[in-house]
Structure 1
Amino acid sequence: MKRRHLTTALAVLTGATVLFFGLNFLLNPDGAPAGFGITPWPEGNADGYFAVKGVRDIAVAATVFLLLMIGQRRTLGWVVLIDAIIPLGDALTVLTHGGTYTTALSIHVSAAALVVLTAVMLLTERGQRPQLAVPSKTTDRRREKYIDRVNK
C-alpha cells in the first residue's frame, strides 16, 4: 500500500469517526454520552450540549471530506492538525470534571495522537509534479486575437 493511500485512509477514518460521534450525539442522546467519560451527564435543558457537540462534529467531518474531495491535501493536513485540539480539550474536560485518567488517555489522547499522525503524514506528503501545459496553436491564436482586441 502506498503512503498516499494510507494517508487517505487515515483522513477518511478521521472524518468518518467524528461524523459517527456527531450523528450519535444527535440521534442517540441517551446512549452516546456513556463513552465520553464524564458523569453525571447534563439533564433537562442542559442536554442541549449534545446537539451542540453533534453539530460541531458533523461540521468537522464535512470539512475533512470536502478538502479530501477537492484534493487540497496540504490544507487538509493543517486543518486536521488544528482539529487535534478537540480531543485534547475533551481529555482535559474529562480530567477536570470527574472523569478517569484511563478514559481521558485511552479514548481522547489516543484519538488526538492518531489525528496528529494523520496531519503529519498529510503535511509531509510529496505531491505529484504538475504537468507543464504545452501551448497549442489554438491557444496562441486566441492570445493573439485578445491582444489585437485590447490594442484596438
Structure 2
Amino acid sequence: MLSFIAYGLAIVLNLFIIFIGVRFLLVPAAAAAGYGVPAQPSAYLAVKGVRDLTYGLVGLALLAFVGAPAEAWFMLVVALAPLGDTVIVLRHGGTKAVAFGIHFATAVTVLISAVLLFAV
C-alpha cells in the first residue's frame, strides 16, 4: 500500500508540474496570475513553462527507468523550486495566501513525496 501511495503521489506531482509548464507556454498571462504575481506575457513566462515541463518529464523518467530512490532524491532537490517561488511571490507583491497556500504547500507535498519514496 505504501508503494502505491508513494508512486501515485509522485506521478500526480510530476503530471501537475507538466500541466503548469504547458499552461505557462499556452496561456502565460493566466498562468502568471495563478502563480501569484501577474505579469504581461513575455519570454520569461515561456522560460518558466519550459522549466516546469522539463521537471515533470525528468521526474516521470526517473520513476519509470531508475526507480523510487532516484525519484526521491529528485523530489528532495526539486522542492527548492516551490520554496523559491514562495519567496518570489512574497517579495513581489503577491499575497501570503498564495505564497503559503500554493507554493509553500507544494514544497511540503513534494517533500512528503520524497519521504514516502525513500521509505519504499
TM-score, normalising length: structure 1: 0.76
Return the index of the structure with the highest Cα Rg: 1
One-letter code aligned to 1:70: F
CA displacement 1:29-52 (0-9 Å, x = unmatched): 13211111114x145xxx111110
**Aligned: 1:50 with 2:45:** yes
Pick the aligned partner of 1:107 from 102, 110, 114: 102
Choose between structure 1 and 2 for higher RCO, CA contacts under 8 A separated by at least 6 residues.
2
- Report the identity percentage: 36
**Aligned: 1:31 with 2:61:** no
List, as ranges, runs of 4+ consecutive aligned residues in structure 1 with deviation greater than 6 Å. none
**Aligned: 1:65 with 2:64:** no
Identify which range, 115-124 or 64-73, moves more after superposition: 64-73
Partner residue in 1 for 2:11: 12
TM-score, normalising length: structure 2: 0.95
One-letter code aligned to 1:19: I
Gaps of 5+ in 2: none
In structure 2, distance between residues paired with 1:119 and 1:104: 21
More helix by share: 2
Equivalent residue pairs, number: 120
In structure 2, distance between residues paired with 1:29 and 1:76: 28
